[in-house]
Copies of this chain bind each other. A is one copy, B any other.
Amino acid sequence: MKKSLLFTPGPTPLPPEALLAMAQPIDYHRSETAVTLIKDVLQKLKHVFQTENDVLFLTTSGTGAMEAAVANLLCCGDKVLVIRSGKFGERWGEICTAYGVEIIPIDVAWGNSVAPEAVESHLTAHPEVKAVFATLCETSTGALHDIEALARLTRHRPTLLVVDAVSALGADDLQMDNWGVDMVVSCSQKGLMTPPGLAFAALNRRAWNAVARSNLPKYYLDLRKAHQSGLEGSVPYTPAITLLTALQCALNRICAEGIRNTIARHNRLAVATRSAIKAIGLPLFAMSPANTLTSIRLPEEIDGKAFIKLMREKHGITYAGGQSHLSGKIARIAHLGWMNENDVIIAISAFERGLAEIGYDTPLGAGGTAAQEVFTR
Taking Cβ atoms with an 8 Å cutoff, the residues of A that contact B are 4, 6, 8, 10-14, 19-20, 22-31, 59-64, 67, 71, 94-95, 98-100, 187, 189, 195-197, 216-222, 236-243, 312, 318, 320
Contact B64 A241 (CB under 8 A): no
Q: Chain B's nearest CB lies how many Å from the CB of A17?
A: 11
8 closest cross-chain pairs (CB), A and B: A197-B240, A23-B23, A195-B242, A22-B22, A63-B237, A197-B197, A61-B238, A98-B219
Report B-chain residues with C-beta under 8 Å of the C-beta of A10.
238
CB-CB nearest in chain B for A217? B99
Report B-chain residues with C-beta under 8 Å of the C-beta of A6.
25-28
Distance of A217 Cα from B100 Cα, bound (Å)? 8
28 A-B contact pairs sorted by A residue (CB < 8 Å): A6-B25, A6-B26, A11-B29, A11-B238, A11-B241, A19-B25, A20-B23, A22-B23, A22-B242, A23-B23, A26-B195, A28-B318, A31-B312, A31-B318, A59-B59, A59-B64, A59-B196, A61-B239, A98-B222, A195-B242, A196-B241, A196-B242, A197-B197, A197-B242, A216-B217, A217-B217, A240-B240, A240-B243
Contact B98 A218 (CB under 8 A): yes
Report B-chain residues with C-beta under 8 Å of the C-beta of A219.
63, 67, 94-95, 98-99
Contact B60 A60 (CB under 8 A): yes
Q: A19-B22, A95-B219 are in contact. List 13 more A-B contacts (CB 8 A).
A: A6-B27, A19-B23, A20-B23, A59-B61, A61-B240, A94-B219, A99-B219, A189-B238, A195-B243, A196-B239, A197-B240, A197-B243, A240-B240
Contact B241 A195 (CB under 8 A): yes
Question: Given contacts A60-B59, A61-B237, are A8 and B23 in contact (CB under 8 A)?
Answer: no
Q: Chain B's nearest CB lies how many Å from the CB of A268?
A: 24
Distance of A217 Cα from B219 Cα, bound (Å)? 12
Report B-chain residues with C-beta under 8 Å of the C-beta of A217.
71, 98-100, 216-217
